[in-house]
């Protein structure tokens, strides 16, 4: 399956261990092989630059706050503006908190959603929380990575136009999206310029000054 127009998919899920990052990479790879583009935070976001730096000067309180703000802004920008759909990796004893927030934002933005889960651990007597499962509208989940691309294509066909496609976005969210757009430009340029992390963060800090 290939697409004449590249649909960009936000890959949302846990990324705090090698196993989690490998799982997210496999989701992104399956989508890209099927002709989609993807936004993978561990590869394309600020996470790529700052993960694993807890014991460096980058983790000083002031800089840590900047990193959190910038990561949030880029993710909001990608969900509302940069991506057309979202895949939520729900695996884990409990779903990743950040991924739940991202998926809820995509749901609010009217973006097509696919939930992937092949982990049988659940909290509520063998059932997932309905407030999370319901984000897929149909309350359905994909159990195999290979099925994700076709489910995204189906969700794109079924999804009504986004209520925010005409720019009708709350002012506060618009501000975060604008910041995220600027940080995203810096991250794209950094892929080629390869600055050190401290230099990159100084440029990002100017956006918030």
pLDDT of 96-130, one tens digit each? 999 999 999 999 998 999 999 987 766 555 566 66
What are the counts of helices (DSSP H) followed by strands (DSSP E) for the chain?
9, 4
What's the token pair of residue 181?
Answer: 């757009």
CATH code of the region 8-208: 3.40.50.450
Residue 150: how many other CB atoms lie within 10 Å: 13
pLDDT at residue 1, as a whole number: 47
Give the pLDDT of residue 58: 56
> Predicted confidence band at 44 (pLDDT cuts at 50, 70, 90)?
very high
Q: Which of 30-34, 35-39, 153-157 has the lowest mean pLDDT?
A: 153-157
Does residue 156 carry a pLDDT above 70? yes
3 pLDDT tier (thresholds 50, 70, 90): very low
CA distances from 76 to 22, 80, 162, 192 (A): 23, 6, 15, 24
pLDDT at 159 over 50: yes
More confident residue, 176 or 51: 176
Tokens of 180: 């995220």
pLDDT at residue 45, rounded to an integer: 95
Domain spans in the chain, listed from the N-terminal domain onward: 8-208
Contact 77, 181 (CB under 8 A): yes
**What pLDDT was estimated at residue 127?**
63
Residue 198 contacts residue 101 (beta carbons within 8 Å): no
State residue 65's pLDDT score: 86
Mean pLDDT of 34-57: 85
Q: What is the reported pLDDT for 206?
A: 96
* pLDDT exceeds 90 at position 168: no
Residue length of the chain: 209
Give the residue-averaged pLDDT of 13-36: 95
The three-class DSSP label of residue 36 is: coil
Prediction pTM value: 0.87
Pairwise CA distance, residues 118 & 205, whole Å: 40
């Amino acid at each position: 399956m290939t697409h004449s127009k590249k649909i960009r998919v936000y890959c949302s899920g846990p990324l705090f261990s090698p196993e989690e990052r490998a799982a997210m990479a496999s989701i992104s790879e399956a989508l890209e092989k099927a002709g989609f583009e993807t936004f993978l935070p561990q590869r394309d976001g600020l996470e790529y630059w700052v993960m694993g730096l807890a014991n460096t000067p980058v983790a000083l309180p002031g800089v840590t706050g900047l990193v959190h703000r910038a990561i949030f802004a880029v993710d909001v920008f990608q969900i509302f503006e940069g991506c057309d759909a979202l895949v939520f990796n729900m695996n884990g004893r409990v779903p990743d908190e950040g991924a739940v927030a991202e998926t809820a934002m995509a749901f609010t933005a009217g973006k097509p959603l696919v939930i992937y889960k092949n982990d049988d651990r659940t909290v509520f007597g063998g059932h997932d929380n309905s407030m999370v499962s319901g984000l897929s509208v149909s309350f359905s989940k994909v159990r195999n990575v290979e099925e994700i691309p076709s489910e995204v294509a189906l969700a794109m066909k079924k999804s009504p136009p986004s209520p925010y496609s005409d720019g009708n976005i709350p002012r506060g969210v618009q501000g975060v999206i604008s910041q995220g757009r600027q940080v995203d430009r810096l991250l794209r340029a950094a892929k080629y310029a390869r600055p050190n992390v401290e230099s990159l963060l100084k440029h990002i800090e100017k956006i918030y000054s």
